[in-house]
Amino acid sequence: MSAPGETIHVPSSGYAIGSGYEVLVLYASPHRITFKYTRDDNVVRGYTLHVEGVCVEPRLLALYQSCNEAGRGKLPALQVGQAFGRARGDHIGVAIRDNGTFMDPRSRKDWWQGR
């Protein structure tokens, strides 16, 4: 559940991709964003987080688009707790993938618990 206009932040995972950053932005559009918990520009290995139903912060979206158009040599990275957008309505959609397999974020088992 979310409130329309609620600020949405990068969730803590316990992972770091270097220089104080937690996630790499693999994809961004006005209403969805995809994060990777490694510095790899793919979803082959490691956790990937897909979030939709958000208004992606306009400066972050513009930065992603600029990096994408420049050949993806560098992509935006965010720190834990950093705001990346606002909820469009009373809920947001979240999907998590590990090594290409989708996982249920409602699970409180092993990989998600305590993060």
Q: What is the pLDDT of residue 111?
A: 52
pTM: 0.85
Name beta bridge partners: 99.
none
Across all residues in the chain, what is the average pLDDT?
89
Average pLDDT value for residue range 24-39: 97
Average pLDDT value for residue range 55-69: 98
CB atoms within 10 A of CB 10: 21
Regarding predicted confidence, which is higher, 25 or 15? 25
Domain ranges of the chain: 7-103
Q: What is the pLDDT of residue 115?
A: 46
pLDDT in tens, 70-81: 999 999 999 999
pLDDT in tens, 80-93: 999 999 999 999 99
**Nearest alpha carbon to residue 38 among 99, 82, 85:** 99
Letter for the amino acid at 18? G
